Amino acid sequence: MNDQSKKLIHIYVKGIFMGTANIIPGLSGGTIALIIGIYDRLLSCISAFNLSLLSNIIHLRNPSFKSDFQNSINELDLPFLIPLSIGILTAIVILSNFISFAFVHFRAFANSFFLGILVMSLILLYDEINLNSIFRIISAILAFSISFLLSGSVSAIQTSPDPIYIFISGVLVSLAMLLPGISGAALLYVIGFYEFLLTTLNEFLFSLPTLFAGDYQTILKPALILFIFSSGFFIGLINSAKLVKFALTRDRATTMSILLALMVGSFRFPISEIVTNIPSSNFSSIFLILFSFFVGAFVPYILSRLYDSPI
């Protein structure tokens, strides 16, 4: 296996880690991207999507647009973005059914595992915190407060949301994916959309074999829901990437302090889930909660050691 192939596999595996984080409530894909050293590169890739790229594609036959198109493709960094995206999708497809099962049958232990990941992630990113000014302190307090309030306001479970609601949910998740400390899956759970989306994804995946029998009706509804959600996600992703990149370029210390304050505020979500769903207060339950927590904390620690430098 040559160096290029190894590099592509390396990126693909990192995509799997990001995809895993994006589908698990309490975990942030942005946090994982920071830990494994691809956050800034990811922002640059996504920020390269713009209207001029579409214009260059439309006018590709015109020789004067070919060089602009090539420059746009180079900015997209496709050798990085494609295997990363495939890795993210792989994790989401494989884990969707498993996560649904874990949340139904082992909710407290699953959330303890996720809390361990969050706490260790914060420890690993501690050097990014810089509260040496009144403005940064106030900004961090406000960010913490917003995250704390949102993560404790679980809504009723959605059963048949309208298309606008689905689209907006996709936009919100795209923003959460790029913000370390904000879990897109937890945000969906807060607005009552998480379990509905997981169920829809599983319906879509299990309906795929029916296409070979000529049955298009079964897959139509889940496919339409996922299309609307994905449209909101990609539109939001492109625009939020530019915003986050601008903020990091303008004042990285303040931006990172705000993002990590958001992470701390989000601790409320898994903690409340653990307290609410713990089977009992006996020794075995408490031991399993603590065990799950430390196993979760071990995950980002290992990731930070395996991927201690950017690609």
Compute the distance between CA of residue 274 and CA of residue 295 in angstroms, rounded to an integer.
16
The predicted-structure confidence for 280-297, as pLDDT tens digits, reads as follows 777 888 899 999 999 988
The radius of gyration of the chain's CA atoms, rounded to the nearest angstrom, is 20
> Comparing 171 with 244, which gets the higher pLDDT?
171
DSSP labels, 147-164: HHHHTT---PPPSS--HH
Whether this model's pTM surpasses 0.75 = no
Query: What span, in angstroms and rounded, lies between the C-alpha atoms of 182 and 28?
Result: 6
Q: How far apart are CA 146 and CA 298, in angstroms?
A: 28
Neighbouring CB atoms inside 10 A of 130's CB total: 15
Report which listed range, 73-77, 155-159, 277-281, is most confident.
277-281
